[in-house]
Every structure is written in structure tokens, then in C-alpha cells.
Amino acid sequence: MEDAGAPPLCFPSLNSSCRHLLRRPRSEAALLYTLLASVSLLTVTLNLLVIISISHFRQLHTPTNSLLLSLAVSDLVVGLLAMPIEGLRHMETCWLLGRLMCALTPYLSYCLLSASLGNMVLISIDRYLAICDPLLYSSKITLNRVKILISLSWACSLLYNGLILMGHLAWPDRYNSCHGECLMVISFISGIVDFFFTFVGPCTVMVVLYVRVFVVAISQVRLIQAHTAAANARSGKTAKISERKAARTLGIVIAVFLMCFCPYYYPSLAGQNTSNNFSYFAVLSWIMLMNSCMNPLIYALYFAM
């Protein structure tokens, strides 16, 4: 007979069921559900606007916008699937979606975030070539080549995360102690490899290329303003405003990336396995997921620079 003072079972009909770890007051639960739903809806809406705009207007069918379209697609699916599932997991404290979804959900989330990250790296390379090598840009970066790179980025994301999560995909319930859990554990070694491949490497590429883009762009602005300085007394002030805007936008692109992805790798840097059973994992995962909500705003600002 069930203890009346114990938390309720996740599945009352199963003796092996887990118990709800935390039962929130109804008002608090409603507020949190509303907040999570709002973030998910905002992510879907912003990325959908990018997708519709680029897909509808033929003049926007350029290599750069193809990268933005791919980024928006991955971020849209994060808002449509990954965010609601993660929200349900952390709100209910019981896994209600079954063994198959337990295996596929982390894989789906990681693939989408890796694809999003790959697109951000490709965008930084595209901007570098467009500004630092403009004469050869149109011949080097064609729409077909970009589509091939996007396909490779998605394929690499699927393969890479399949290797990282191979154990979880094959045996999703091996760490579960009762029915209603979905524990995922990434070993310390795999976490360190993942840290270098999906954070240090892409971060280094993006920072180096964007700093180079910033330096070249500023030198071009100063050169143009120097030629028109005699005719326009306000040109020096305009140049400084352009420099500050470029620096601010560049800082936002890099800072948001670091803020969203840095916290997730705390367990690996602390010498621990990465597990969604940690009390703070919900915060780490949602900070990383929020990058998909910010990307449409960040890159719209960057390309409006």
C-alpha cells in the first residue's frame, strides 16, 4: 500500500514507478509553464519570420542567406521540439514519453544545437571572405557550394552526436533506477572531447575570423572617410560611430555565444561526467537552448551593421 505521506508515483499502476521529486504549487507551476511556453513560442516565431522572409523573396536567395536559413531551421526545431520536451521533463520531474523518446530526445537536441553551431561557424567564414577577399568572393562562394557545405554540416552533426551518445542510444535506460526516469550520462573523456570539438574549436574560429573582419571593416571605413574628409566635416564623427557600432555588434555576437555555451561544459571542466540528473542541469541546458531564441535577433543585427 502506498505511503500517504510520500510523493505520488509517476505511474500509479506500476510498482517499479519513480516518484515525483517535486510537487510545485498550482500557481507556481502555471507561471513556469506559461514562461516556458512563451520562450518556445518566441523562438519559433522569430525563426519562422527569418525562414519565410528568405524563402519568399527571390532576391534574398544568396549564399549568405542560405546559411541564415539553415541556422533558422535548426533553431526553429529547437523551439518547436527540444524546448517543450525539456520543459516537460523538468516541470514534471518524471519522464512520461517512453523509452524510445528517452533515447532520441538528447540526440535530437544535441544534433540541432551542433547544426546551429556549425551554421554559425560557416557564417563567420562567409563574412570573412566577403569582407577580406571581396573580389574573389562571388567566384569562391556560390549557392551550390554553400548548399553542399550546409548538407555536410548537418551530416557531421548527426554522425558526431551519434558517436558521443552511442551508449545512450543503444541502452537508454541503463542508468535508470525506476520506471519514469530518463538519465543520460556522458563520460568525462567524451565530455572533454565534446568540449574541444563543439566549443573551443568553433569559438576560436569565430573569434579569430570576426576580429579579422572587424579590423578590415574599420580600415575600409577609415579609408573611405579619409577621402571624403575634406568635403564633409562630419565624416570623422560618422567614422567613429560606425566603428563603435561594428565593435558593439561584434561583441554581442561573441558574448552571447560564450554566455550560452560556456555554462554547459562546467561538469567536464570540473572533472565530472555530464548527466541530466544534476540539480543544476536544467539551468545549464536552458541557457544553451536560449541561444536558438537569440540567434535571429543577433544575426539580423549583424547583417544590418
Non-local CB neighbours of 298 within 8 Å, separated by 6+ positions: 252, 253, 256
Q: Are 296 and 54 in contact (CB under 8 A)?
A: no
Mean pLDDT of the chain: 82
Write out the three cell numbers for 19.
516518484
Q: What is the pLDDT of residues 172-196, one digit of tens each?
A: 888 888 887 888 888 888 888 888 8
- Tens of each residue's pLDDT in the chain, 305 residues: 455 556 677 777 777 778 766 667 778 778 888 999 999 999 999 999 999 988 888 888 888 889 989 999 999 999 999 999 988 888 777 888 888 898 899 899 999 989 999 998 998 898 888 888 888 888 888 899 999 999 999 999 999 999 999 888 888 888 888 887 888 888 888 888 888 888 889 889 988 888 888 787 777 667 766 666 555 545 555 555 555 565 666 677 778 888 888 888 877 777 777 777 666 777 888 888 898 998 888 876 666 54
φ/ψ (deg, to 5) at 17: -70, 145
Non-local CB neighbours of 5 within 8 Å, separated by 6+ positions: none
CA–CA separation, 119 vs 72, rounded Å? 9
Q: Are 295 and 75 in contact (CB under 8 A)?
A: yes
Res 262: pLDDT: 85
Q: Are 265 and 199 in contact (CB under 8 A)?
A: yes
Write out the three cell numbers for 77.
526545431
Per cent of the chain over pLDDT 90 is: 22
Closest listed residue to residue 302, CA positions, set 137, 150, 123:
123
Q: What ranges do the domains of the chain cover?
A: 26-303
CA–CA separation, 167 vs 184, rounded Å? 9
Alpha helices in 133-234 (DSSP H): 134-140, 143-164, 166-170, 188-195, 201-228
Q: Are 257 and 291 in contact (CB under 8 A)?
A: yes
Res 104: pLDDT: 92
pTM of the model: 0.85
Alpha helices in 196-234 (DSSP H): 201-228
Q: Does domain 26-303 have CATH number 3.30.310.160?
A: no
Res 28: pLDDT: 78
Q: What is the pLDDT of residues 96-125, one digit of tens each?
A: 888 889 889 989 999 998 999 999 899 889
Q: CA dist 118 to 122, 153, 203, Å?
A: 6, 6, 11
Closest listed residue to residue 118, CA positions, set 161, 84, 83:
161
Q: CA dist 37 to 105, 143, 157, 159, Å?
A: 18, 36, 27, 31
Write out the three cell numbers for 184.
543520460
H or E segment and range at residue 92: helix 83-92
Res 1: pLDDT: 45
- Coil, strand or helix: which one is 16? coil
Pairing of strands 274-275, 185-186: antiparallel
Closest listed residue to residue 115, CA positions, set 295, 255, 266:
295
Closest listed residue to residue 47, CA positions, set 289, 262, 305:
289
